[in-house]
Copies of this chain bind each other. A is one copy, B any other.
């Protein structure tokens, strides 16, 4: 495994008027930049990677972030949630349960 944590942030932007919600490029890139800054500030570039990704196909719960190798999917992720995901999950290996997508329930 190259990275201890590999964070993929959806930056998919659908065309206006699309029937399906999208995570959004602008919001997604804000999240990417925020995660990347934390990786850099903690000097973890060789072990943690945060990056943009295309559609993760859980759009209804977006904006979405997935962290591997755990395969932990976060939904409705706001810029204000990034610190908590980073501190708790990336640094301390404890997924943030309040943001975790419960696929057994319908999206809010």
Contacts and interface: CB of A to CB of B under 8 A. Distances in A.
A55 B54 CA distance: 11
Interface string A25-69: 000000010000000000000000101111111100000001011
A84 B49 CA distance: 27
A52 B51 contact: no
Contacts of A54: 11, 32, 51-53
A71 B69 contact: yes
A59 B17 CA distance: 36
A73 interface: yes
A72 to B, nearest CB: 8
Contact of A68 (B32, B69, B101, B103): B69
A57 B51 contact: yes
16 contacts: A1-B70, A1-B71, A2-B58, A2-B101, A3-B71, A6-B66, A8-B8, A32-B54, A51-B53, A51-B55, A52-B54, A53-B53, A68-B68, A68-B69, A68-B71, A69-B69
